[in-house]
Amino acid sequence: MSCLAVPVIAQAQQYSFSQVVITGNERVDAATILSFARIARNQPVTAADLNAAYQRLTNSGLFENVAITPQGNTLKIAVTEYPTISVINFEGNKIIKDAQLAAIIQAKPNRVYNPAQIEADAQRLARAYSEDGRMAARVVPKVIRRDNNRVDVAFEIKEGKVTSIERVTFTGNRSFSDRRLRQVLETKQAGIFRTFVKNDTFNASRIPVDRQKLIEFYQARGYKNVQVTGVSSQMSRQRDAFFMTFNIIEGQKYHFNAINTSSEIDGLAPDEFAPLTKIRQGQTFSPKAIELAVTRMEQLAIKKGVQFVRVDPRITEDPRTQSVNVDFVLVRGPRVFVQRIDIEGNTATLDRVIRREFRTVEGDPYNPREISNAADRIRGTGYFKSVDVNTKPGSNSDQVVVDVNVEEQPTGSLGFGASYSKTDGIGFNASLEEKNFLGRGQYLGLSLGTTKDNNSSSIRFVEPAFLGRDVALKFSAIYATSSSATNTNYDTRRISIEPALEFPVSERGRLQVSYKIGEDTLNNVPTNSSQILRDEETDKGSQRYSGPGLRYSYDTSREQIDPRFTWRFNVDQQFWGLGGDVKGGQTTAKIVGERKIFNEEATLRASLEGGAVDATDGSTILQRFSGSQIRGFESYGIGPRDLNAANRDALGGNYYWVGKVEAEFPIGLPEEYGITGGVFWDVGSVWGLDDTKGTGGNEVDDSMHVRSAVGVSLFWKSAIGPLRLNFSRAIKKESYDKTQNFDLSLSTQF
């Protein structure tokens, strides 16, 4: 027990000590004790001074007991030092391992024991369990005295059960259902796999993020003045579940009205910048549309050599008409430069991978909007769980330092797929992808597929910033074989390699230039097969090809404004003839659109694709289309077929087209199960041969016969990854077509 020996009647008395005697100290030297006491020899000392010395020694955290006793001209200071910690043990923990817990606490073996620190460590451990969703966890520290003034510390832990989020509800949401809004949140309701899913455990740090996600969701759909006024989190009596409620004031839905551009800078004509707004009158209000317009204008100013230009979007709203007028004003910004960019938290990703997302480097004029856009681009890489970009003053008043703090997340994925048909039986495929290979921001993908008679493997590599520019360097290689499957009675082998460069040609469009070299081999065609295939094996059994390729792609998601609708288009052309045995080429094109309907409760998708092959000396079965794009039919299950051959060979076609329509919607199950339903309709055809003279001299029908199939799907966001099951039925087919009624696909991440 600590004490201070000073007579009560002598509170106003002054002392003067010619010597100070210190006892009880073993590890702490006398000089250190005197530095805390601050009692000088032969100087007047009051009782208040002695009390202050006592408090300083007690609060130093070095001593368990302190006694200060004046005896004439001598001041005696007696201390009892805190013991030293021998070992620290954790008892009762199963979920969080000892090494993880030891990294959380501040107390360490062979350091001085301090009761206040041990209590604080117990609170830190309880907080760690709370962040892991175990709100009922309890941590009790125990101290065991040993000889030689040493102690053992044990933290007795009762981990408790996971405190899951039983229900998330909303008030004030008139335009969107609770189901739709729950999809926006990072926080999820507890489902049937609550043991594996961490987002359904309560974590107070996610609440601000969820509030911002709700605000951004509404604003992107025209609700300019939406507010999330509060979030209520109530714990159940059993302390094993939370009930969360988000209070929303939606406000009115706004649209753009008058769009104007003006300039306050001499030499910058607003007429040059006005076309860059790309905002139509009557268009739904969207902050993203304004941000993109501002970015385009500021980039044009930089190209014109004018620095420190800012575009100030001045917004005025008319609640009566629920419209917004925007005046984009070109103004002169402050002369501030970027001193440096500091990056922290990237334990796996190299600094240069993050830096290349900045259009600004050290010494450039500071543009806050460009820094914000860089933060969005870093988030868009998908390499990080969180990205925080802030600025702080630099060494001079006209300089700023950009701080980038990131938290890594898994970037690899492991995918599995399965299919089934009566002819081929069960087929499997596996894929391994790493989107941030060795922390260099590169993509590496490997895939393997096999059925009873088919095997394929491929490798793909992408460097997205070749030579530090927005140019993607790609390389792919494919090796595939098939052997006398029921639906293809011959053996094949395909080998190809293809390097490519891809670069932007517009905000949403990209062009890829490639060169492909390969070899296709057709052999072991049975004698009872189609005469067409036997002739192809004899004349063109093994063919090498070489030539350039072009691919143009357009994707609205690259500059997304309306989140309810996206579409993409691509066209591919491959030319043959620069070396090799094949001359001609192949063209394919595809357009896909997706629209969320019924207040975004359901999703409607539609696509149309087609292709053509033109080989100067005639195409082979390995160059023609198989019709595998139509669900409900096997690969080579449709198209021209030699019905007079004993095995009725499928021959493929020089042309194909496929149209698809599908819808995905809730089926009444709680959304925390992650199960939705869908329906689809596929229609298309494969047709056209260079040689139609089949077995026995009979002509093969290569006309464009339309096929069609309908089906239902189950989409399941399972604990091991997204899973889709398709059950299909052909409703329009030829008598000789080969159908497939079921297929399954599955992918997961690690």
605 to 589, 599, 712: CA distances (angstroms): 17, 16, 14
419 vs 645 pLDDT, higher one: 645
- Mean pLDDT for the stretch of residues 2-25: 67
Q: Which of 211, 286, 229, 220 is nearest to 256 (CA)?
A: 286
Return the HEC string of 487-536: CEEEEEEEEEEEEEEEEECCCCEEEEEEEEEEEEEEECCCCCCCHHHHHH
The pLDDT tens digits for 119-151 are 999 999 988 887 777 777 889 999 998 888 889
Q: What is the pLDDT of residue 196?
A: 46
State the total domains in the chain: 6
Average pLDDT over residues 600-617: 95
Mean pLDDT over residues 309-330, rounded? 94
Total-model pTM: 0.73
Query: CA-CA distance, 486 to 738, in Å (whole number)?
Result: 11
The torsion region of residue 250 among left (phi > 0), alpha (psi -120 to 50) and beta comes to alpha
pLDDT for position 682? 97
Same domain, 640 and 553: yes
pLDDT, position 81? 84
Residues 6+ apart with CB under 8 A from 697: none
What pLDDT score does 10 carry?
42
Instruction: Say if residue 212 is in the same domain as residue 118.
Output: no
Statement to judge: residues 530 and 667 lie in one domain:
yes
> Strand pairing partners for 421?
425
pLDDT tens for 161-175 read 777 788 899 999 999
User: What span, in angstroms and rounded, lies between the C-alpha atoms of 416 and 435?
Assistant: 17
Phi, psi of 709 (to 5 degrees): -145, 145
Q: Show the tokens assigned to 342.
A: 């500091």
H or E element that contains 81: strand 74-81
Could you tell me if 287 and 308 are in contact, meaning their C-beta atoms sit under 8 angstroms apart? no
Domain residues for 622? 412-749
Tell me: do 46 and 151 sit in the same domain.
no
Which of 208, 226, 249 is the C-terminal boundary of a domain?
249
What residues contact residue 594 under an 8 Å CB cut-off, 6+ apart? 565, 566, 567, 603, 604, 605
Model confidence at 426: pLDDT above 90: no
630-659 pLDDT per residue, tens: 999 988 899 999 999 988 989 999 999 999
Between CA 671 and CA 189 the distance in angstroms is 8
If you average pLDDT over residues 1-23, what whole number do you get?
Answer: 64
- Cα dihedral across residues 181, 183, 188, 191: positive or negative: positive
pLDDT of residue 630: 92
pLDDT-derived band at 464 (thresholds 50, 70, 90) equals very high
Neighbours of 436 (CB within 10 A): 23
Q: Is the pLDDT of residue 406 over 80?
A: yes
Q: Is the pLDDT of residue 421 over 80?
A: no
Least confident of 337-346, 487-496, 529-538: 487-496
Percent of the chain with pLDDT strictly greater than 70: 93
The residues, any chain, with a CB within 8 Å of residue 242's CB and separated by 6 or more, are 135, 163, 164, 165, 166, 202, 233, 234, 235, 236
Of 39, 2, 25, 35, nearest to 112 by C-alpha is: 25
Q: Say which DSSP state 468 is in.
A: G
Last residue of some domain: 17, 51, 81? 81
Lowest mean pLDDT among 3-17, 469-483, 693-707: 3-17
Query: Residue 148's domain is classified under what CATH number?
Result: 3.10.20.310
Same-domain status, 519 and 494: yes
Select from 69, 80, 65 the least CA-distant residue to 27.
80
Give the N- to C-terminal CA distance of the chain in Å, as an integer: 56
Largest CA distance in the chain: 131
Q: Do 177 and 285 reside in the same domain of the chain?
A: no
Residue 71 CB neighbour total at 10 angstroms: 10
Residue 217's H or E segment, with its range, is helix 206-219
Beta bridge partners of 443: 462
Report pLDDT for 647. Answer: 87
Main-chain dihedrals φ then ψ at residue 182, nearest 5 degrees = -65, -30
Last residue of a domain, one of 387, 408, 429: 408
- Rounded to the nearest 10 degrees, the angle between the axes of helix 30-37 and helix 47-59 is 120
Considering the domain architecture, whether residues 229 and 210 belong to the same structural domain is answered as: yes
Assess whether 393 and 442 both reside in one domain: no
Residue 750: pLDDT over 50: no
| pLDDT-derived band at 8, boundaries 50, 70, 90 | very low
| Range among 36-45, 103-112, 493-502, 518-527 rated most confident | 493-502
Burial call 397-410: b when 16+ CB within 10 Å, e when fewer: eebbbbebebebee
Do 512 and 528 belong to one domain? yes
Q: Looking at this protein, which amino acid is placed at residue 647?
A: N
- Do residues 639 and 572 both lie within one domain? yes
668 with 729, same domain? yes
Is residue 586 domain-shared with residue 553, that is, in the same domain? yes
Within 564-626, strands assigned E span: 565-577, 579-597, 602-615
Strand runs labelled E in 107-200: 138-146, 150-158, 164-171
Query: Mean pLDDT over residues 434-456, rounded?
Result: 88
CATH number at residue 731: 2.40.160.50
